[in-house]
Structure 1
């Protein structure tokens, strides 16, 4: 439920550049090109069944675990950051790292959401 609140509502527009990401021991950030390649054409499924779909054409959808979808466009920034501009005009940026072999999405306020599984799609 928390993931849907964080990603779906996207009430907090954030600038990625000046953030002090609260990293944890073992967090491995990605180079921008490597993160873009890792996410493109993939669906990240979170433990609350929320789904972030990163289409290879830059389109993005976040579907709540209980239903309801937000649409937008995604792009990768420096420091392992992914920014989504939703069709409402709201932008949010989160950091995606790997820790212990698992992708983890981190919000600007330090909340962490591990990815349960990654699904490839066409």
Structure 2
């Protein structure tokens, strides 16, 4: 059983190394990510909004309308992974960068979060 758990955690560990960090980026810890996701809404400067529920439900509302739904989990290293209802998935990493909170995507995008 413990080997199964280790194998399931392996991809998360590999994904975490894929994020393009810049000088000055400080990754949030697991506890910091859990605290951040306890906010009622995480709002991005481009207008989108993420909502994380205590039970693991997730939704992202686009600025122009429309919402994507799914579930999320936070890995021990602070990486947050989302599985959308449409079958797509992705993992993100949150960092503090020069006084701002920023979400990094695995494909190299950066999205600043409103305070």
Shorter chain as normaliser: what TM range? 0.7 to 0.9
In structure 2, the partner of 1:17 is 13
Query: Taking structure 1 as the reference length, what is the TM-score of the superposition?
Result: 0.74
Alignment of 1:14-53 (within 5 A): 16-19=12-15, 20-53=18-51
Counterpart position of 2:81:
83
What SS does the aligned partner of 1:28 have? strand
Q: Shift in Å at residue 101 of structure 1?
A: 2.7
Q: Give the structure with higher Rg (CA).
A: 2
* Structure 2 unmatched ranges of 5 or more: 1-10
Query: Matched residue of 1:65: which SS?
Result: coil
Q: Distance in 1 between matches of 2:56 and 2:39?
A: 9
- Does the CA contact (< 8 Å) of 1:45 and 1:115 recur in 2? yes
**Could you say what the CA RMSD is over the residues aligned between the two structures, in angstroms?**
1.7
Contact 2:60-2:69 within 8 A present in 1 as well = yes
Tell me whether 38-47 or 23-32 shows the greater mean CA deviation: 38-47
Deviating 4+ runs (over 2 angstroms): none
Deviation at 1:42, TM superposition (A): 3.3
The 1-side partners of 2:78 and 2:112 are apart by: 15
**How many residues are paired up?**
103
* Higher normalized helix content (fraction of residues): 2
Larger relative contact order, structure 1 or 2 (CA cutoff 8 Å, min sep 6): 1
Match of 1:66 among 55, 60, 64: 64
Unaligned segments of structure 1, at least 5 residues: 1-14, 118-122
- Deviations along 1:89-116, one digit per CA (max 9) or x if unpaired, are 2221111111123210111111111112
